[in-house]
Structure 1
């Protein structure tokens, strides 16, 4: 696996120097300041590439921008409304501009309205560190009593609605405001965020869009951009829903292996594939991550390795971000499947036999607790996770270990 690190740009509290000292091989970044739907201009791409290439003292970092995360898909494209045709044209131009500067792997998602969704960005775990958490009762309290979405209580069911009402009654005004801010936060690294009225407006526009309609819109998008990516030698890789179940009555269409199969079969090109995020998919107990890796191995273009602990039965469920070797995903088995696929690709002569991986999220520990960094992206917590993942990679790659069994 190609060891990479997500970097949000010069304002990121984790510096290029920090990444260099962590020993990563490449960098994952994006132009978060560019409005969704707009063209990524060559000079802005070059500027970010140059920022990654320099350390604080001006010397070369020997790091390069290797994966784009994310080149976002606009809400207009997802809904096929407004300026969606122009946004698709701009997406194609952005791909061309990125390819011209050597970028080949493009991560994106097709989640409607909200990106990853959490109710707590600093949940305290027993060892004293913190992590991100999705509490189903808190989320129901937000949906029913803060957003006041019509029909929300009925969708959650009587038991959860009653518990949500009791929880909401106990919340201080400050906690209500914090809960709303946590749920409606923008994309990681983005300067964009949404108000409650913004969310309500988007939800109203999805009233006529069911999962099949959203899937059709997604396929239409891929039919436009995938030929461009294939011609340019690029790899598009869709990130799963996070969490992988419906929220706010919105359709969610990238939550299971069957969801991916329907999309990848519809636009069957090596340029269209998966970002396998073990944490997102792992928030459903019925998602078997090693099996998903086996099923989609040739089309897995990017890896997010993290773990979650599911706290309640069923789907949807409460969960929190676990340590990388904790939680419900068997990380050793998953990495074993990844290494098998890399060996197969290398034997077949594939240029992309080394799949880029980054240690995703992580718990805030030690100095992270005072840094106030990007939620979900602690410096030391991710470094600890990377060290653990490296240990598995080294052990499974040792000549004494056989993958024949």
Structure 2
């Protein structure tokens, strides 16, 4: 497995020399400064790649090449947007970058209600509170249809939180929910979010699926021609939010995505945390089922509460069996190697870490501190080394 690290380029307070000290060899990044829908110019890609290589890394995955909201809504003449997307793909391939992670979540990306929830032995973590999200939808947005999206006990807790909250508490909640958007664009205030949500009026799950299939039909043939690996990131959290359907939240959603255009280049980013937030998801089982189409892995863990809340756990301490998951990925690598596949080695990165020690107060991207992810990478590296040694010993005995 290729140990990699997400870096936000000029937006990141963590430097490439610091990342080098983690032992990671691959960088996962994007041109976050380019607005959605515009072409990524070849010279800008080349400049970013040269910067990464000069620091001793390979640019192993683009995360992400964002999809314009009009494509998700299926709105108007999309031919230019599709053409721009394919041109960006071609420009990346021309620079030797062949793996693209993306998502098809409508309007907002990963969503948390708390960016600095306390951790038992010190430090902070990201948290999704179902009552706070319900309070945001019901009492701040005034979306009364959300009554049907939350059970009664969560709605009661939401009302209590809202009644006791200050204006600063509500501003902090809005900021937290908006913080999952990775680029420099499309942050919303309450009025702006309401307007943006109206753009999705009438778009149900079936419509969003149809729009997603159309997107795949437009780009996967180009990915095949370019020798690219395209890998969808599951919804985070894996549930509908703000009245918007989310369609890649479980094994059925993944199967739809991969079967919509059944080509090897149409693959999956196996995100253990996103999938792990759904109590019905067997994450190692999903990894084994779709192993042949996994092009990239996000390894992190979550601890779930009965009311639908969850928080980021330490990488080996949450509800997902991380040892079993890594074992499944290593087994797939061995299978691909035996087949002689060029994509035998799967890049992974330690996803969302706790803010620990000098991380606290540094102001790094939420979920992407230095020390917390370094701890996660060290733990994951140890698991992979132990499993590989165990397999090697078993093979020697055989």
What TM bracket, shorter-length normalisation?
A: over 0.9
Q: Shift of residue 190 of structure 1?
A: 3.5
For residues 11 and 185 of structure 1, do their structure 2 counterparts lie closer, same or farther at Cα, with a shift above 3 Å needed?
closer
Counterpart for residue 204 of structure 2: 210
Counterpart for residue 286 of structure 2: 292
Q: Shift of residue 186 of structure 1?
A: 5.1
Q: Shift of residue 376 of structure 1?
A: 0.3
Does 1:302 pair with 2:296?
yes
Counterpart for residue 52 of structure 1: 52
SS of the residue corresponding to residue 370 of structure 1 reads coil
Q: Shift of residue 145 of structure 1?
A: 0.7
For residues 12 and 215 of structure 1, do their structure 2 counterparts lie closer, same or farther at Cα, with a shift above 3 Å needed?
same
Does 1:136 pair with 2:130?
yes
Q: Shift of residue 372 of structure 1?
A: 1.4
C-alpha contact 1:77 1:85 (8 A) present in aligned 2: no
C-alpha contact 2:4 2:347 (8 A) present in aligned 1: yes
- Structure 1: how far apart are the matches of 2:370 and 2:306? 29
- Structure 2: how far apart are the matches of 1:216 and 1:403? 50
TM-score, with normalisation over the residues of structure 2?
0.96
For residue 320 of structure 2, the aligned residue among 305, 316, 329 is 329
Does 1:320 pair with 2:314?
no
TM-score, with normalisation over the residues of structure 1?
0.95
Counterpart for residue 71 of structure 2: 77
C-alpha contact 1:185 1:194 (8 A) present in aligned 2: no
- Structure 2: how far apart are the matches of 1:205 and 1:191? 17
Q: Shift of residue 401 of structure 1?
A: 4.8
C-alpha contact 1:186 1:193 (8 A) present in aligned 2: no
SS of the residue corresponding to residue 247 of structure 2 reads coil
| 1:189-213: CA deviation from partner (whole Å, max 9, x where unpaired) | 5354122222212222222111111
Q: Shift of residue 163 of structure 1?
A: 1.8
C-alpha contact 1:340 1:403 (8 A) present in aligned 2: no
Counterpart for residue 86 of structure 1: 80
For residue 105 of structure 2, the aligned residue among 87, 90, 111 is 111
Does 1:40 pair with 2:50?
no
Counterpart for residue 266 of structure 2: 272
- Structure 2: how far apart are the matches of 1:403 and 1:276? 31
Write the mapping of 1:242-281 to structure 2, written as runs, cut at 5 A. Answer: 242-281=236-275
What is the aligned residue count? 396
SS of the residue corresponding to residue 268 of structure 2 reads strand
- Structure 2: how far apart are the matches of 1:88 and 1:404? 54
Counterpart for residue 383 of structure 2: 392
Q: Shift of residue 311 of structure 1?
A: 1.6
Q: Which runs of 5+ in 1 are unaligned?
A: 55-60
Counterpart for residue 351 of structure 1: 342
- Structure 1: how far apart are the matches of 2:379 and 2:291? 23
Q: Which runs of 5+ in 2 are unaligned?
A: none
C-alpha contact 2:216 2:260 (8 A) present in aligned 1: no
For residues 24 and 149 of structure 1, do their structure 2 counterparts lie closer, same or farther at Cα, with a shift above 3 Å needed?
same
Q: Is 198-207 or 175-184 further displaced after alignment?
A: 198-207
Q: Is 180-189 or 22-31 further displaced after alignment?
A: 180-189
Counterpart for residue 57 of structure 1: none
SS of the residue corresponding to residue 9 of structure 2 reads coil
SS of the residue corresponding to residue 194 of structure 1 reads coil
For residue 363 of structure 1, the aligned residue among 347, 354, 363 is 354
Does 1:162 pair with 2:153?
no
Counterpart for residue 183 of structure 1: 177
Does 1:381 pair with 2:375?
no
Q: Shift of residue 153 of structure 1?
A: 2.4
Q: Shift of residue 380 of structure 1?
A: 0.6
- Structure 1: how far apart are the matches of 2:289 and 2:356? 35
Q: Shift of residue 370 of structure 1?
A: 2.5
- Structure 1: how far apart are the matches of 2:78 and 2:383? 44
**Alignment root-mean-square deviation, CA:** 1.6
- Structure 2: how far apart are the matches of 1:263 and 1:280? 16
C-alpha contact 1:105 1:237 (8 A) present in aligned 2: yes
Q: Is 40-49 or 106-115 further displaced after alignment?
A: 40-49
Q: Shift of residue 37 of structure 1?
A: 0.6
SS of the residue corresponding to residue 290 of structure 1 reads helix
Counterpart for residue 26 of structure 1: 26
C-alpha contact 2:35 2:185 (8 A) present in aligned 1: no
SS of the residue corresponding to residue 5 of structure 1 reads strand
Q: Shift of residue 404 of structure 1?
A: 12
| 1:329-349: CA deviation from partner (whole Å, max 9, x where unpaired) | 000000000000000000000
Counterpart for residue 6 of structure 1: 6
